[in-house]
Amino acid sequence: MRKSVFAMAAPVLVIAALAGCGSSSSSSSSSTKTASPGTADAAIVAKVPAAIKSKGTLTIGSDATYAPLEFVASDGHTVIGMDPDLLDAIGAKMGLKVKFVNATFDTIIPALAAGKFDLGVSSFTDTKEREKTVDFVDYFTAGISFYAKSASNPGVETVADLCGKSVAVEKGTVEQEESEAQSKKCAKAGKPAVKVLSFPDQNGANLALSSGRAEIGMADSPIADYQVKQSNGQFKLVGKEYEAAPYGIAIPKSSGLTEPIQAALKAVIADGEYAKILGKWGLQSGSLTTATIDGATS
C-alpha cells in the first residue's frame, strides 16, 4: 500500500494541504527521541551491530504526509504519528535514540541501499518485489480504500470500476501500481483507460481531489478513514476496502539490524506498549500478534 490522504496534525495543516503544500522531498523535517532510562533490554542490546551501537541513533527515512501513521506536527518540523511512537518504543528496547527524517516516499528504499538511512518506516507494504531489495519486519496490516468528494457519486465499488475515471495516487505506492494495472485491464476489455494522476507526496494527491482534477483518491485504509473523519465533511469513503497486506519496517539486508528490530518489536508487543500505541491512534484493527520477517502475501 502506502499510502493516503492529508498530512494533518492540526486544522492549519488541512488548509495547507488544500492550498497546495510543497513536496516533502527535502529532509527539513525530523525528530529525535531518546530511549527512556531503564527500558533497554540487555539481550536485545547485545544483538545491535557495533556500528549502530556506537552511533547511538537509528536514522529513519519517512514520508511524513500520511496521518495518522506519520505526519508533521503543528510546530512544522517534528514527525509524529503511530510509526514514530512505535519506533521510539523499539529504539528504547535497543538502547538507541530514534531520528525520523522527512523524505519523498519513492526515494526511501534506494536511500537505504546508499546508506543514507538505517531504516525506512513509512507505511511500506511488505511485497515480494520489495523483499528483493530490503528485509521487512512486519508490524501492522492495512487494506486499500477509495475516497471522493462528499457531494460526488463516482460509482466506484471496486478497483474494476475505475475504468474511465481519474484517480489521484502517490508516486511509488501500491495504489499507483494497482490503478495502472487496472487501466491495462480496462483497455484490454475495450473500456476507457484509467487516468492515473501520480504525485510526489500525498498532499499533491489530496489537492488533485479537492480541486476536482481527480474524481477518486486511492489510499491505505487507515489513512483514508482518518482523513475522511478529519475533513469536516469534505470527503467520504466510497466502495469496498480490499487487499489487506502487512506493513513492514524496511531494513538493508546487509545491516545486521533485522534480527534486533524483530526482537525489539516482539518485546514491545509482549509488554503491552504496542497495544497502547495503536489505541492512541485508533488503529487497533490493524494490530498483529507477532513480528514476522518478510511476510509478504504477494
Same domain, 153 and 53: no
pLDDT block averages, 10 residues each, the chain of length 298: 38 32 41 60 97 97 94 94 97 97 94 96 95 97 96 96 97 94 98 97 88 95 86 94 95 97 98 97 96 95
Which amino acid, residue 29? Answer: S
Same domain, 199 and 188: yes
Same domain, 35 and 171: no
Q: Which of 222, 243, 264 is the last residue of a domain?
A: 243
**Residue range of the domain that includes 63:** 11-142+246-293
Same domain, 39 and 131: yes
Measured N-to-C along each axis, helices 273-280 and 258-270 cross at an angle, to the nearest 10 degrees, of 80
* Cα–Cα distance measured from residue 295 to residue 248, given in angstroms and rounded to the nearest whole number: 9
pLDDT of residue 201: 86
Dihedral over Cα of 287, 288, 293, 295: its sign: negative
Same domain, 165 and 237: yes
How many domains does the chain divide into?
A: 2
Specify if 158 maps to a domain.
yes
pLDDT of residue 224: 86
Residues in the chain: 298
Same domain, 29 and 138: yes
Same domain, 135 and 152: no
Specify if 1 maps to a domain.
no
pLDDT of residue 12: 32
Q: What is the pLDDT of residues 161-187, one digit of tens each?
A: 999 999 999 999 999 999 999 999 999
Which amino acid, residue 146? Answer: F
The CATH number of the domain holding residue 280 is 3.40.190.10
Does residue 61 contact residue 103 with C-beta atoms inside 8 Å? yes
Specify if 126 maps to a domain.
yes
Same domain, 94 and 220: no
Cα R_g (the chain), whole angstroms:
19
Does residue 120 contact residue 249 with C-beta atoms inside 8 Å? yes
The pTM (predicted TM-score) of the whole model is 0.82
pLDDT of residue 152: 95
Specify if 6 maps to a domain.
no
Same domain, 31 and 134: yes
Same domain, 83 and 122: yes
Q: Retrieve residue 170's grid coordinates.
A: 502517490
pLDDT of residue 206: 85
pLDDT of residue 29: 59
